[in-house]
């Protein structure tokens, strides 16, 4: 502690001694230079604050100058700026500058300053034709006036969030009770078919995006329907819970315009719209399909979650869908039932697909890849048990786990792991699949459960490169140079691929019909 105080005091002395008391300046002559002429703030939702953006201002002259004014042009601008740590004039008298007007800002010769920019604007503030909200930062006035443009796209949205009560507590969802009969709750709320603001919250349309804070719950006996083209954005630690005996129906569709392949898809992702967050894992929570719930999912893209789908004794039919960038699992299914067709998965911290404590699973023309940077990640993990915290195990029959015309691949030597105990049924079947399984030097090299891969039985292909178009961009389509080209079985052929393209009579393995890559 003494050392810290000593260093702190030395820093103060150095700072004070470096401050110039004789800082003589001349007025700015309009020759400032800027790191950019227009600052584009990325898309923001109405009335939600933006990220902070930076503008750098340079004094290239040999003179110390004072900029008479730096200000936002609009009187009631929705932008806020901070100039080298200063917040500007305090017009409302709250002790904090308003971030609108700065007087006599000094700038040394051959030096620069930073301006930090934020906005919180409503859709009503934007231009009604293009939904852009604009303003300018003005430096000086008259003949010395210089300007930098500010541009933000404002997106209207429907916001769903837990209510805050008068006593300061928040609405929450009941998940059950613990061993002591105490309630287990999570920050969230139940959707309402007669909400006074949003109307029927059990029907998500494509008219406006939905932004969810906390966990939105679909209660027992209710059905959440999501139309083609709908966009759902989840805040941090938020998600969707389909309660026992409730239903989820995602009704995405093929996009007719090849230049807009996601037009009719339903998209689930985080609410950070800046480009640097477009592929960042773990931005939001999970879609939780609880006991005895039923879900039908078609043409969904789910990305950047902590866990894509968490299933507990629930049923899911998922077709023509993509799950990317999950910090834990793409799908984690426990004693559940899944029918998957034309499903694509990539990048998961632990496994793209995990089916554990048994269940019933059938996948056809699916692509399971995992290029997460970890030596322990897998594309597919199957088991008929799960180890508990007290080292005991929970066991249940794996009645079937069938994979036909599927790719199971990734950056590790082994991307498929089968884990079983003899006290329960373990039925798995792989036909005409391309599987990454280089077991040399591993602890499973002599495990007979994998002989069907080693011997390349049932039309399976081992350790051949599918040559995806661009794994880093989650573009797992293939062309004629792929090892998966025309290696599928016509017996399991699904007529169209994930993009709605007709499959050849001898189908390719995986979710995509082969086609030339874009040039």
Neighbours of 266 (CB within 10 A): 25
User: Which CATH superfamily is 158-492 part of?
Assistant: Single-stranded right-handed beta-helix, Pectin lyase-like (2.160.20.10)
Candidates 3.40.50.20, 2.60.40.10, 2.102.10.10, 3.40.50.1970; correct CATH number of 25-155? Answer: 2.60.40.10
Neighbours of 168 (CB within 10 A): 6
Given a contact cutoff of 8 angstroms between Cβ atoms, the answer to whether 377 and 346 are in contact is no
Same fold? 25-155, 158-492: no
Which has the closest alpha carbon to 326: 344, 310, 312, 346?
Answer: 346
Question: Structure pTM?
Answer: 0.88
Return the sign of the alpha-carbon dihedral for residues 435, 440, 443, 447.
positive
3-state secondary structure string across 238-302: CEEEECCCCEEEEECCCCCCCCCCCCCCEEEEECCCCHHHCCCCCCEEEEEECCCCEEEEECEEE
Given a contact cutoff of 8 angstroms between Cβ atoms, the answer to whether 26 and 64 are in contact is yes
Q: What is the mean pLDDT of each run of 10 residues along the chain (519 residues)?
A: 41 43 73 95 92 96 94 96 92 83 94 96 91 96 95 95 89 92 95 95 97 97 98 97 98 89 94 93 98 98 99 99 99 99 99 99 99 97 95 96 99 97 97 95 86 92 98 98 98 98 97 95
φ, ψ dihedrals at 6, nearest 5°: -60, -50
Rounding to the nearest 10 degrees, give the CA dihedral for residues 68, 72, 74, 79: -160
Domain ranges of the chain: 25-155, 158-492
**How far separated are the first and last CA of the chain, in Å rounded?**
61
């Amino acid at each position: 502690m003494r050392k810290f105080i000593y260093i702190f005091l030395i820093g103060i002395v150095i700072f004070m001694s470096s401050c110039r008391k004789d800082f003589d300046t001349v007025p700015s002559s309009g020759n400032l230079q800027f790191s950019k002429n227009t600052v584009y703030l990325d898309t923001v939702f109405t009335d939600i604050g933006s990220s902070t953006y930076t503008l750098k201002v340079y004094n290239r002259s040999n003179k110390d100058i004072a900029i008479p004014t730096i200000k936002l042009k609009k009187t009631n601008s929705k932008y806020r700026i901070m100039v080298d740590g200063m917040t500007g004039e305090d017009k409302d008298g709250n002790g904090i500058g308003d971030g609108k007007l700065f007087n006599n800002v000094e700038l040394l010769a051959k030096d620069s300053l930073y301006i930090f920019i934020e906005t919180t604007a409503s859709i009503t503030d934007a231009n009604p034709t293009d939904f852009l909200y604009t303003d300018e930062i003005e430096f000086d006035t008259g003949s010395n006036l210089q300007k930098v443009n500010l541009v933000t796209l404002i997106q209207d949205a429907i916001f769903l969030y837990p209510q805050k009560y008068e006593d300061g507590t928040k609405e929450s969802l009941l998940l059950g009770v613990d061993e002591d009969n105490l309630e287990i709750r999570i920050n969230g709320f139940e959707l309402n078919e007669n909400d006074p603001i949003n109307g029927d919250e059990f029907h998500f349309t494509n008219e406006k995006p939905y932004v969810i804070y906390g966990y939105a719950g679909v209660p027992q006996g209710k059905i959440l329907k999501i139309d083609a083209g709908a966009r759902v954005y989840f805040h941090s630690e938020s998600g969707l819970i389909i309660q026992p005996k409730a239903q989820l129906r995602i009704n995405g569709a093929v996009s007719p315009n090849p230049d807009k392949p996601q037009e009719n898809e339903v998209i689930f992702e985080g609410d950070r719209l800046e480009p640097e967050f477009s592929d960042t894992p773990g931005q939001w929570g999970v879609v939780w399909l609880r006991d005895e719930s039923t879900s039908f999912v078609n043409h969904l893209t789910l990305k950047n979650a902590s866990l894509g789908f968490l299933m507990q004794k629930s049923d899911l039919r998922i077709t023509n869908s993509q799950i990317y960038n999950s910090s834990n699992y793409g799908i984690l299914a426990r004693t559940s039932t899944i029918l998957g067709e034309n499903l694509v998965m990539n990048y998961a911290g632990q496994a793209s697909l995990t089916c554990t404590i048994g269940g019933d699973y059938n996948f056809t023309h699916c692509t399971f890849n995992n290029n997460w940077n970890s030596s322990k990640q897998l594309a597919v993990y199957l088991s008929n048990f799960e180890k508990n915290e007290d080292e005991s195990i929970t066991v249940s029959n794996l009645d079937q786990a069938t994979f036909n015309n599927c790719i199971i691949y990734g950056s590790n030597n082994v991307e498929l792991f089968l884990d079983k105990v003899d006290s329960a049924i373990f039925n798995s079947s792989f036909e005409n699949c391309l599987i990454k399984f280089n077991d040399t030097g591993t602890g499973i090299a002599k495990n007979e459960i994998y002989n069907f891969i080693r011997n390349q039985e049932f039309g399976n292909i081992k350790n051949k490169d599918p040559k995806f178009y661009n794994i880093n961009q989650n573009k797992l389509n293939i062309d004629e140079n792929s090892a998966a080209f025309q290696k599928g079985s016509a017996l399991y052929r699904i007529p169209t691929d994930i993009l709605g393209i007709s499959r050849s009579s001898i189908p390719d393995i995986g979710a995509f019909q082969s086609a030339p890559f874009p040039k």
